Structure 1
Amino acid sequence: MLDWVIYTLAIIVFFLTHSIPVRPANKAKVVAQLGARGFTLSYSALSIAALSFVIYAANHAPIVELWPWAPWQNHVTLLAMAVSVTIAALAIARPNPLSFGGRNNHTFNPHAAGIVGWTRHPLLVALLLWALGHLIPNGNLAHVILFGLFASFSFLGKRIIDKRNQRLLGLETWQHLSHTQRDIAITRTGLIRACIGIAIYLLLLHVHSAIIGVTPLP
């Protein structure tokens, strides 16, 4: 029973740490004290700590199997993670006033939007793929709740962020910026980012067993 209480607490802590700091008023106060880079670093550290806590709690919750594991499920996870990490590498710290994780948003060009031209919220798409990819081979109740919540958060978060940005930017400006073009041209920056994503993916495969305690390979 205590393990379920700790697990529930970890989930609450995770969502509070990912909602309270990014509220405009709260974020403005922190940025005023630490600067934009300081906010990003501190928020990233807080997010990693909260994620580690919730994963630890899920791994120690009682096992209630909903469906059995099969080797083919790992292949789904590997493919989903490859796409997820690549999307994240293409999206992080590039101009994107339409979602979160953007940098130098004032330079955003909707006619040369890169990955944002395909989805306004690439990091939420990456999170959705991560969650669904990990849901399939983890058919016990605690992990189904965990990855199901992450998938729901990423899916519903798109609408929440759109409404917030429409209010902050103004509907007319938001509509102008959101009319992006899907560019299929391969740029040098995009290629470098994709290579970085592949390198991070391979690194995650290497350290997954040591950090999480489960090998991702079939």
Structure 2
Amino acid sequence: MAWAELAIAFAVFFVSHSLPLRPVVRSRVEGLIGRPAFLIAYSALSIAVLAWLIGAAGRAPYVALWPWQAWQMHVPALAMLPACLIVALAIARPNPFSFGGRANETFDPAHPGLARWCRHPLLAAMALWAAAHVIANGDLAHALLFGTFAAFALAGMKIVDRRRQREMGAGWQSLSDAVAASPLLPGPVSAKALALRLVAGLCLYLGLIALHPYLIGVNPLP
């Protein structure tokens, strides 16, 4: 039954992350409850299904894929710091190339932020988180769980690219070229905002370490 629960949780996860985002479904729901309410409801649903999925993987029978070594604990402990910083630098910022961009009409290709380095930073952070946790666990259920997340994030980059190119037409390539020509590092005008986001990312990292034993039941520190 534990494997069945994991399979059902996976199915619900993918349905809940694909069906509500279909243009027809999303436009109708947003028309009924408004965009802010849709985003809140979708975020709450995503968190709830993710928590269920992680719990189902923990309840699945333990099938070792490789011998566990103490050094494996260092991998997510190190990888999650850049992942948290990426999230802090990317979230709620204009990014017409990816999902979740805020106020995309204000996007300045001369100062694109993290989009200068990666068009899909949130998906990159998800891939980093997932890959690091595959190494840290080493059993079948968690390899399926986190390996699927990593593949989902990497495939999602290509899927979103195709969707945005289709929606933006020739503007996608011209905007991409303008971003590629922008400075690699942010200018002094955005230094204060950059520092605040880096501090927020560090706080997120420390918060996850502190809450991990209570939420997941495992101490993340080596």
The TM tier, using the shorter chain, reads: over 0.9
Q: CA deviation at 1:36?
A: 1.9
Identity %: 48
CA deviation string 1:24-65 (max 9, x = no partner):
222111221222211211111010011011001000000000
**Gap regions ≥5 residues in structure 1:** none
* Farther-moved stretch of structure 1 (63-72 vs 119-128): 63-72
Runs ≥4 residues deviating over 4 A: none
Contact 1:112 1:183 in 2 (8 A): no
**Gap regions ≥5 residues in structure 2:** none
Residue 83 of structure 2: aligned partner: 84
1:178 to 176, 179, 189: 176
CA deviation string 1:155-202 (max 9, x = no partner):
1111100111111122x1111222213531362112111100100110
Q: CA deviation at 1:152?
A: 0.5
Residues 182 and 42 of structure 1: is their aligned pair in 2 closer, same or farther, counting only changes over 3 Å?
farther
Matched, 1:217 2:214: no
Residue 153 of structure 1: aligned partner: 152
**What amino acid maps onto 2:31 in structure 1?**
A
Residue 210 of structure 2: aligned partner: 206
1:1-218 alignment, distance < 5 Å: 2-170=1-169, 172-179=170-177, 180=179, 181-185=182-186, 187-218=191-222
Contact 2:111 2:186 in 1 (8 A): no
* Count of residue correspondences: 216
Contact 1:135 1:147 in 2 (8 A): yes
RMSD: 1.1
Q: CA deviation at 1:217?
A: 0.7
Normalised by the size of structure 1, how large is the TM-score? 0.96
Normalised by the size of structure 2, how large is the TM-score? 0.94
